[in-house]
Amino acid sequence: MKRIATFILLSLILLLWSSCRKELDFETKSGGLAFSKDTVYLDTVFTNIGSSTYNLKVYNRSDDDISIPSVRLALGESSEYRLNVDGVAGKEFQNVEILANDSMYVFVETTIDINNLPNTNGEFLYTDEIEFGIGTNMQTVDLVTLVKDAHFIYPDRDNTTGVIETLTLNVGGEQVESDIQGRYLLPEELTFTNEKPYVVYGFAAVPNGETLTINAGTRVHFHADSGLLVSEGASLHINGELSNDEELLENEVILEGDRLEPSFSEVPGQWGTIWLFEGSVNNTINYTTIKNASVGILSDGNPDEANDKLTITNSQIYNSSNYGILGRNTSILAENLVINNTGLTSFAGTLGGKYNFTHCTITNYWSNSFRQFPALLLNNFQESSDGTLFLADLTEANFNNCIIYGNDNPEFLLDEVSDNDVSFNFKFTNSLLRFEDPTNSFNTANYNFNDTSKYEGNIFNDDPAFLNAQNNQMRIGEGSAAINLGDVTFAAQVPEDISGENRTTAPDAGAYQYIGE
C-alpha cells in the first residue's frame, strides 16, 4: 500500500513538472507566422449596424511552441474594430501562445458610426491593422470595411419600460391597436430618393390619404420582421425606370434586407412584407426588385376597384420564404412580372378576387426545403381556425402569354369550393404550363385542357430553357418552348419586354423576349 501511495505521489510530481516545463518551453517570438489571408474584408455595413463576425486563422508552422508577445489593433482602444482571441474579447492581448505546427483563430467584427468619420459623402472606407509581435519582425493583417450612411426609419421606444411603439390600424371602420411594431411616416418622409439608402426597422406605415413615392434608383433595406404597410385610403407609388446595366440595375428600385454582406445576398426570409392593407388604393410598382422577404407583396381586399388595387409592371420578386405575392380577395394587374424561388407559392390568389397577368413568368425552382404548393395557386375560399369556410367570387383570373413552370409538378392548382352562389372564372391563353397528372388525380372540369373557355393556345410541359432558374436568371434561351408562343394581340398591350426589347411581331411567352445567345 505504501509503495502504491509513493508511486501516485511521484506520478503527480512528474505531471506537474511536465506541465510547468511545457509552459516554460514557449519561445517568445515575433515574426514567422502565416495567415489564412493578408486582408480581412468585412464587406459593407450601414452606419451603427453591427457587422457579421469574420475570422482570421493564424498558423505556427515551426516545430517550436511560441508565445506572441503582443496581438493588438494598430489604432488601439480608439479602433472601431473588435477582436476575440482564444475566447477573450478585447483590442490588445499579451503573450498569446500557439503550439508547434498548430494554429488559432482571431475573430473580427465592427460597428461604426459614420458621423464620427471625416469627409463621409455618404460612405467611408474604414481601415485598421492587426499587429502580431513587436519590433522589426512585427507582422500585420489589414482590416477593411466600407461604411454606408443611410436614412433610418424606426419606431419609438419607451426609455423607462423598453416598450416599442406599435401601429394603430383602421379595421372595418374601427381603430384597433395592433402588436405590429412600427410607426406612420411623417410628411417629410413620404418621398424616398436615391440620395442614400433607407433602412427600416419595424413597419413604416403610409397614413390614410397619403402617398409614399419611391423614386428611381432608390434602395430600401429592411431589418428582420420589418416592412412597408400601406393603410386604408393610402397609396404606394414605386417609380423605378429601365436600367442600362442588368447587373447594377441603377435605375431600378430595390427592396431587400439590411445585411449587405455577400453571404446574405440571396437568403430568403430576411424581412417581412409590403402589405397593401384593405382599403389602400391605386398602388403602382414599376421596375422594382423585391427580394429575400417572407412575403414579397401581401395585397388585401378591394377586388372590385375600377382601378386595380395593385398594378405591378416590369418587376421581379425573388427568394420569398413563403409567398412571392399573396392576394386575398383583391385585384391585381401584372405585366412583365417575374416571380421565382419561393418557399410556398410564387403567386397565390386566394379567397377569390380579380387578376390579370400578361407576359409574366411565374415559376418556382425553390431548393432550400421541401415544397408543398405549386408556383401558382387560385382558390375561392378562406378557412377559419374553427374550420368555417368563407367563400368569395373569383371574378376573373387571366394569364395571357405567360410561363408557369418550376421544378415540381404540377405547377398550378385550381382549388375551387363549388357553390352556386360564387364564381370561379379563369383562363390560360398562349402560355407555357407545367402540369402532368399521371395518376388522374385532377379529373375535374377545371382541368379539362380541351375546354377553350378555360385553355387556349397553350403548350404543356416543354422546356422553357431558362438561363439559370436556380439563380433567378429567367431569360429564355435557344430552344425554349416559349419562343413565338405568345399571341400578338396581348403583345400589343405590352409591346416591350422587361428589358425594353420589342416583342410585337413574334412575341414569346413570359416576361423576356428571346434575343439570342
**pLDDT value at position 32?**
87
Q: How far apart are CA 191 and CA 153, in angstroms?
A: 13
Position 105, amino acid: Y
- Fold type of domain 27-148: Immunoglobulin-like (2.60.40)
Is residue 24 predicted with pLDDT exceeding 60?
Answer: no
**pLDDT value at position 173?**
80
Give mean pLDDT, residues 375-386: 94
Dump pLDDT digits (tens) for 151-197: 999 999 888 888 999 999 988 788 889 999 999 999 999 999 999 99
Nearest Cα residue to 324 out of 383, 243, 268: 268
Q: CA–CA distance from 206 to each of 189, 203, 329, 339 (Å)?
A: 10, 10, 21, 25
**pLDDT value at position 25?**
54
pLDDT higher for 56 or 420? 56
Q: How far apart are CA 79 and CA 146, in angstroms?
A: 15
The DSSP output letter for 115 is: G
Average pLDDT value over all residues in the chain: 92
13-46 burial, b if ≥16 CB within 10 A, otherwise e? eeeeeeeeeeeeebeebbebbebeeeebebbebb
Dump pLDDT digits (tens) for 447-471: 999 999 999 999 999 999 999 999 9
Is residue 433 predicted with pLDDT exceeding 90?
Answer: yes
How much of the chain exceeds pLDDT 70, in percent?
94
Dump pLDDT digits (tens) for 80-129: 999 999 889 999 999 999 999 999 999 999 999 998 887 667 889 999 99
Among 288-292, 368-372, 376-380, 427-431, the range scoring the smallest mean pLDDT is: 368-372
Q: How far apart are CA 196 and CA 121, in angstroms?
A: 10
**pLDDT value at position 120?**
66
Strands 27-28 and 54-60: unpaired
Residue 3: band (very low, low, confident or very high) from pLDDT cuts 50, 70, 90 = very low
Q: How far apart are CA 179 and CA 181, in angstroms?
A: 6
77 phi and psi angles, rounded to 5 deg: -65, -20
Residue 490: band (very low, low, confident or very high) from pLDDT cuts 50, 70, 90 = very high
**pLDDT value at position 420?**
85
Is residue 11 predicted with pLDDT exceeding 80?
Answer: no
CA-derived radius of gyration, the chain: 30
C-alpha cell of residue 514: 428571346
Nearest Cα residue to 221 out of 170, 275, 258, 270: 258
Q: What is the DSSP string of 35-90?
A: ES-SEEEEEEEETTSPPPPEEEEEEE-SSS-EEEEEEEETTGGG-SEEEEETTEEE
The DSSP output letter for 157 is: B
Burial environment of residue 234 by CB neighbours within 10 A (0 to 12, 13 to 18, 19 or more): buried
Give mean pLDDT, residues 469-479: 95
Give mean pLDDT, residues 402-412: 97
pLDDT higher for 17 or 292? 292
How much of the chain exceeds pLDDT 90, in percent?
82
374-401 burial, b if ≥16 CB within 10 A, otherwise e? bbbbbbbbeeeeeeeeebbbbbbbbbbb
449 phi and psi angles, rounded to 5 deg: -75, -5
Residue 9: band (very low, low, confident or very high) from pLDDT cuts 50, 70, 90 = very low
Is residue 215 predicted with pLDDT exceeding 50?
Answer: yes
Give mean pLDDT, residues 54-71: 94
**pLDDT value at position 22?**
40
Give mean pLDDT, residues 2-10: 44
Q: How far apart are CA 31 and CA 48, in angstroms?
A: 35
Work out the end-to-end distance of the chain between its first and last CA atoms, rounded to an integer number of angstroms. 89
492 phi and psi angles, rounded to 5 deg: -65, -25
Would you state the torsion angle of the CA atoms of residues 153, 158, 164, 165, taken in this order, to the nearest 10 degrees?
-70
Q: How far apart are CA 312 and CA 342, in angstroms?
A: 18
Is residue 16 predicted with pLDDT exceeding 50?
Answer: no
**pLDDT value at position 14?**
43
Q: How far apart are CA 151 and CA 67, in angstroms?
A: 47
Is residue 29 predicted with pLDDT exceeding 70?
Answer: no
**pLDDT value at position 119?**
65
Report whether 367 contacts 403 (CB < 8 A).
no
Is residue 21 predicted with pLDDT exceeding 60?
Answer: no
Is residue 8 predicted with pLDDT exceeding 80?
Answer: no
Give mean pLDDT, residues 475-490: 97
Dump pLDDT digits (tens) for 260-277: 989 999 999 999 999 999
Residue 136: band (very low, low, confident or very high) from pLDDT cuts 50, 70, 90 = confident
Q: Domain extents for the chain?
A: 27-148, 151-493
Q: How far apart are CA 333 and CA 344, in angstroms?
A: 22
Give mean pLDDT, residues 35-60: 93
Report whether 461 contacts 434 (CB < 8 A).
yes
pLDDT higher for 162 or 76? 76
The 10 Å Cβ neighbour count of residue 190 is 15
Among 15-19, 321-325, 511-515, the range scoring the smallest mean pLDDT is: 15-19
**pLDDT value at position 244?**
93
**pLDDT value at position 28?**
75
6 phi and psi angles, rounded to 5 deg: -65, -40
The DSSP output letter for 31 is: S
Report whether 71 contacts 131 (CB < 8 A).
yes
**pLDDT value at position 6?**
45
Give mean pLDDT, residues 312-323: 98
Dump pLDDT digits (tens) for 222-236: 999 999 999 999 999
